[in-house]
Amino acid sequence: MQVKELMTSSLHTVNEHDTLVHARELMLAHRIRHLPVVDGENRFIGLLTQRDLLAATVSPIEGIDRDMLDTLESARTVGEVMNREVVAVDEETALTMAAELLLDHKFGCLPVLRDGYLTGIVTEADFVRLAIDLVARDHA
């Protein structure tokens, strides 16, 4: 099997000029932990993870109310926080190789590219779903 057979191709993305508030709202609304960052032509330029977002935001524990937090986050952009050094795979990559990359490097996802353009994303959850399907098939 190849990555293109498992990847999610209906993606939520951001660009580097979007605010952290926008990125957080997308993550919360769609219950996702990874946002690929693309340019105006859908070329992949980086990744923003929930962990990146948490590290870049001020904690409510610090005594700042939600409105002030939103104001602070509105002044920061995805481009300031995103990771530009991201391992990505091609659509034709074998699923075993993608799984090994996720395990060996403890990645939560791998962006999937075709000629530098984002076509999908494969996550740990995709592999868990695959494992459940395979186990269910064996016990059917």
**pTM score:** 0.85
- The per-residue pLDDT for range 122-139, each reduced to its tens digit, is 999 999 999 898 898 888
Its domain, for residue 60, covers 3-138
We report the CATH number of the domain holding residue 16 as: 3.10.580.10
Number of domains in the chain: 1
Amino acid letter, 124: E
User: H helices within the chain, ranges in order?
Assistant: 20-30, 50-56, 66-74, 78-81, 95-105, 124-138
- The per-residue pLDDT for range 60-113, each reduced to its tens digit, is 556 666 677 667 767 789 999 999 999 999 999 999 999 999 999 999 999 999
Segment 26-44 mean pLDDT: 95
